[in-house]
Amino acid sequence: MKTVDIAVTGLGLVTPAGIGVQATWDGLLSGRSLAATDEQLAGLPVDFSCRVPDFDPTARLGRRLSWRIDRFIQMGLVAAREAVTDAGWDPAAWDGARVAVVLGNGSGGNDQAQRDYELLNRGRYKAISPLCITRAVSNMLAGELSADLQALGPSLVTSTACASGGTAIGVARGLLASSMCDIVITGGSESVCRPMPAAGFGQMGALSTRVHDPAGACRPFDADRDGFVLGEGAGILVLERLPDARARNAPVRALVAGYGASADGYHFSSPDPEGQGVVRAIHAALADAGLSPSDIDHINAHGTSTQQNDLAEARALCSVFGTPPPVTANKSVLGHSIGGAGAIEAAVTVLSLQHRTIPPIANLDRLDPEIDLDVVTKAPRSQQLRAALSNSIGFGGQNAVLAFQTP
């Protein structure tokens, strides 16, 4: 039952389509995958990814800060500063104790872990960096952001694998609704464009092996899909209660109308083939928002391009909606940034509502005959949009669904 409207007043994005909200939106509208051979993955069975181009952390954050934090924190900071500026806030001026930080991350950072483990294995303990833990553990994403922005209220990281970013936004909304804070910096950040995730997810059989054609590798809901594509990025949203946003005349991009979370309880890595956990999360989000399935005009799907996920998600959507509204899947263009993905896609859902435009799914040439969805392909689709869902489905059967509405 909805008690208070929560407004999105700021957005910040760092994605393989570029740095800044506009770059990502433009990249998504182009409908072309950004996956490419990745020299950091040279020699691995899967040697391509979607990497953020030309990201210079020292130029953006200063060397004093950039040297001691992993890439997922660097990207999170850059996106957060953009989002706060977009919301019209000056961190020097706000009441920091009333500003919370809730961010999603699945596996922390891994920029220097390989080097430090090599030193450990060789017994060279005194050569290991004293920053090996603080630069890489998940919670430091929120810790560093809180310090950087002097956001001194509750500060935490949610970790639900591929759903972490969506979970963070749902939890953040709850903090605002219960008046534990007045502003929340929320979203998620992660990079898995590194050898260990490439090897580990590869061994799971979760990655596309289309090494001869990286740009054609991520093809959600397509009959020829064969796995997800490693990615990286950060998505940050600034949330406030709607009356507070109105009182300071802040532009309201959209409302976070509802949040639903669930667990499959089915298998540690495979989704429930019928998507029953996702169905429960969608129903919970709709109930939270006070909306019915017929109110939803668009779905930003989790759509990873694995055989199992896309089929289960499509079944879940058909189960709830009968004939689901138009669907997109941003991972086809941006790859899968795990803890960043749900947050980036939530931000894109907000942009879709604002621009009344659904960006297309890249590489969807032939819809899987077992999947009956109205998929947006080839070109953006313009239409009236009042409410939309953003789905996130994590390994471990952890699901997060967010409902957004126009203000």
Partner 1 sequence: MTTTYERIAGLLTEHLGVPEDIIRPDATLTDLELDSLSIVELSVIIQEEFGVELSEEDLKPTLGEFCRIVEQRRDGSEAMGADSSRQDVSTTPTRP
- What burial letters (b/e) apply to 233-256, b meaning 16+ CB within 10 Å? bbbbbbbbbbebbeeeebebbbbb
- Residue 326 DSSP one-character state: P
Is 302 assigned a catalytic role? yes
Q: Which of residues 130-159 bind partner 1 (CB under 8 A)?
A: 130-131, 134
Q: One of 193, 283, 336, 355 is an active-site residue; which one?
A: 336
Residue with tokens 């433009």: 26
Distance CA 264, CA 62 (A): 43
Strands 6-15 and 99-104, sheet pairing: unpaired
- 199 binding partner 1? (CB under 8 A): no
Q: One of 50, 162, 181, 218 is an active-site residue; which one?
A: 162
Q: Which of residues 330-389 bind partner 1 (CB under 8 A)?
A: none
Q: Which residue in 40, 58, 203, 307 binds partner 1 (CB under 8 A)?
A: 58
Distance CA 194, CA 263 (A): 28
Nearer to partner 1, 69 or 350 (CB): 69
Nearer to partner 1, 48 or 55 (CB): 55
Nearest to 41 by CA among 118, 144, 134, 110: 110
Residues 6+ apart with CB under 8 A from 110: 70, 136, 191, 192, 194, 196, 197
Least distance from C-beta 82 to partner 1, angstroms? Answer: 22
- 122 binding partner 1? (CB under 8 A): yes
Q: What is the DSSP string of 14-44?
A: EETTEESHHHHHHHHHHT----EE-GGGTTS
Nearest to 11 by CA among 89, 108, 94, 97: 89
Nearer to partner 1, 136 or 257 (CB): 136
Least distance from C-beta 61 to partner 1, angstroms? Answer: 10
- 128 binding partner 1? (CB under 8 A): yes
Q: What sign results for the dihedral spanned by CA atoms 275, 280, 283, 285?
A: negative
Least distance from C-beta 201 to partner 1, angstroms? Answer: 23
Mapping DSSP to helix (H, G, I), strand (E, B) and coil, where does residue 401 land?
Answer: strand
Q: Which residue in 42, 54, 93, 125 binds partner 1 (CB under 8 A)?
A: 125
Nearer to partner 1, 125 or 268 (CB): 125
Element (H, E) at 399: strand 398-405
Q: Which residue in 1, 42, 43, 64 binds partner 1 (CB under 8 A)?
A: 64
Strand partners, 179: none
- 129 binding partner 1? (CB under 8 A): yes
Q: Which stretch binds partner 1 (CB under 8 A): 61-69, 81-89, 204-212, 266-274?
A: 61-69
Nearer to partner 1, 126 or 212 (CB): 126
Q: How many CB atoms lie within 10 A of CB 64?
A: 8
- 65 binding partner 1? (CB under 8 A): yes
- 67 binding partner 1? (CB under 8 A): yes
- 114 binding partner 1? (CB under 8 A): no
Least distance from C-beta 125 to partner 1, angstroms? Answer: 6
- 112 binding partner 1? (CB under 8 A): no
Is 162 assigned a catalytic role? yes
- 59 binding partner 1? (CB under 8 A): no
- 62 binding partner 1? (CB under 8 A): yes
Residues 6+ apart with CB under 8 A from 68: 131, 134, 135
- 124 binding partner 1? (CB under 8 A): yes
Nearest to 251 by CA among 36, 61, 367, 406: 406
Q: Which of residues 211-270 bind partner 1 (CB under 8 A)?
A: none
Q: Site for partner 1 (CB under 8 A): how many residues? A: 20
Nearer to partner 1, 63 or 267 (CB): 63
Q: Which stretch binds partner 1 (CB under 8 A): 118-126, 235-243, 281-289, 327-335?
A: 118-126
Are residues 51 and 267 in contact, defined by beta-carbon separation less than 8 angstroms? Answer: no
- 63 binding partner 1? (CB under 8 A): yes
- 115 binding partner 1? (CB under 8 A): no
Amino acid at 364: L
323 CB burial (10 A radius; 0-12, 13-18, 19+): exposed
Active site residues per annotation: 162, 302, 336
Chain residues binding partner 1 by CB under 8 A are 58, 62-68, 121-131, 134
